[in-house]
Chains A and B, each alone.
Chain A
Amino acid sequence: MTVEVGTELPEQVLRVTRADLVRYAGASGDLNPIHWSDRTAREVGLPGVIAHGMFTMALAGRAVTAWTGDPSALVEFQVRFGRPVVVPDDDEGAEVTVRGKVAALLDDGRARVDLTVTSDGEKVLSLARAVVRLP
């Protein structure tokens, strides 16, 4: 794999449904009802149920590990949670798009990847960055 500054990761378009949120809630232990109850979500001023920020971060991580081909190569990973991903109660759910670009080559065969994560045309994560060990 030839990697240079500007190298783009394959774009990933991922679908998120209510069932995915329920599964993530159980697996992660984050049972906050804003991720499964429209009533609770609206009570706190959200348009409806939203995805766990950590779930969206995990999807962004998948785009990176799919590119490196080695999940253990992702050594640093950070995001700021910007806008929530609203997940409607239907079969289509929401769409999350993850794009990434190599922003810098670092010491020790590592690279910094900057990620752009959007849903419904809006950025949902900001300052999303990963440091990966290159093969």
Chain B
Amino acid sequence: MALDRELVGRSYPPSAVYEVGRAKIAEFATAVGAQDPVHFDVDAARAAGHPDVIAPPTFAIVVSLEAAFVVLGDPEVGLDYSRVVHGEQRFTHHRPIRAGDRLVATTTIDAARSVAGNDLLTARVELAAEDGEAVCTTASMLVARGA
């Protein structure tokens, strides 16, 4: 089905708080082979000017992709989850994500169009600290392949 352009600009309520832990950052860094000590060692992170260990650049996806998927649960969007693949991904870091962050994700539909029978939807997720400080903006383009 063709996506309704009226969906563009629609926002969803903020997510529950995601608390970033040191162990989770270390686990993610190990999984992607990021070996810089700023991901594992608080002293090394502080020596580099960070208050605590920082996450590798794509860690934000752990929080943001689930937030982006709220659009798939919106009956007015009507994308078939089983046909959805990840088409594009973008991160804009306002500052590194670090252990101790309590992040709130707010999702907005930035673009919606249908091309050659495929539905393309871009979900932008703003990750912010609880006090509103902007941390990372992610944009995920989801593609629902035509049946």
A4 at interface by CB-CB < 8 Å: no
Q: A53-B86, A127-B88 are in contact. Are A28 and B33 (CB under 8 A)?
A: no
Q: A29-B66, A72-B50 are in contact. Are A78 and B88 (CB under 8 A)?
A: yes
The number of inter-chain residue pairs (CB within 8 angstroms) is 99
B87 at interface by CB-CB < 8 Å: yes
A-B contacts, 28 listed (Cβ < 8 Å): A20-B31, A24-B32, A26-B31, A27-B32, A53-B89, A54-B65, A57-B58, A58-B33, A58-B34, A58-B58, A59-B33, A61-B32, A61-B57, A65-B57, A71-B34, A71-B39, A71-B96, A72-B54, A72-B96, A74-B57, A76-B93, A77-B90, A78-B88, A78-B89, A79-B89, A81-B86, A81-B87, A81-B88
User: What does DSSP make chain A's interface, helix, strand, loop or mixed?
Assistant: helix
Q: Assign chain B's interface to a size class.
A: 20 to 34
Residue positions of B touching A, CB distance < 8 A: 24, 27-28, 30-34, 36, 38-39, 48, 50, 54, 56-58, 61-62, 65-66, 85-93, 95-96, 139
Complex interface residues of chain A between 16 and 54 (CB less than 8 A to chain B): 20, 23-24, 26-30, 53-54
Chain B residues contacting A64 (CB-CB under 8 Å) are: 57
Residue positions of A touching B, CB distance < 8 A: 14, 20, 23-24, 26-30, 53-55, 57-59, 61-62, 64-65, 70-72, 74-81, 127
